[in-house]
Amino acid sequence: EVQLLESGGGLVQPGGSLRLSCVASGFTFSSYAMGWVRQAPGKGLEWVSSISGYGVSTSYADSVKGRFTISRDNSKNTLYLQMNSLRAEDTAVYYCAKGIGGLKYGIDYWGQGALVTVSS
């Protein structure tokens, strides 16, 4: 059974940093692209970032480019999102996402979400 378990969410002040982690199980982690999708309170889904199976290729939404960094450790079956220079508008539930091969084909499994709140 595929499982994605996020951790690392919480309350952070504007300008601060936070690192999200997502531990995956139930599939060959390195064979699949992974990503992060967020949802602000009461709002729709927003794609944040994607990374290829071996971490060679990454991409980011314009709204987070230069502030967020996606990475993965295939030896630990873990996906990361390092978030720096956080802003109030980054407040959201962040979902870890597994691609059907690549994320462009579709996201077939989602984590339960980690809430990030940026506020003073």
Partner 1 sequence: QSALTQPASVSGSPGQSITISCTGTSSDVGGYDYVSWYQQHPGKAPKLMIYEVSNRPSGVPDRFSGSKSGNTASLTISGLQAEDEADYYCCSYTSSTTLVFGGGTKLTVL
> Given the rule CB under 8 A, which residues bind partner 1?
35, 37, 44-47, 50, 59-62, 95, 100, 103-108, 110-113
Q: Which is nearer to partner 1, 15 or 101 (CB)?
A: 101
Least Å distance, CB 52 to partner 1, is: 11
Edge-first strand listing for the sheet containing 78-83? 3-7, 18-25, 78-83, 68-73
Closest C-alpha to 50, from 118, 100, 117, 115 = 100
Is the CB of 17 or the CB of 57 nearer to partner 1?
Answer: 57
Cα separation of 40 and 92, whole Å?
4
Give the distance, in angstroms, between the CA of residue 100 and the centroid of all CA atoms in the same chain: 16
Torsion angle (degrees, nearest 10) of CA 68, 45, 104, 8: 40
- Nearest approach in angstroms of CB 120 to partner 1 is 27
Query: By C-beta, is 80 or 109 nearer to partner 1?
Result: 109
Q: In whole angstroms, how close is the CB of 100 to partner 1 at the nearest point?
A: 6
For 14-120, where are the alpha helices, taking DSSP H only? none
To partner 1, the closest distance from the beta carbon of 59 in angstroms equals: 5
Is the CB of 43 or the CB of 120 nearer to partner 1?
Answer: 43
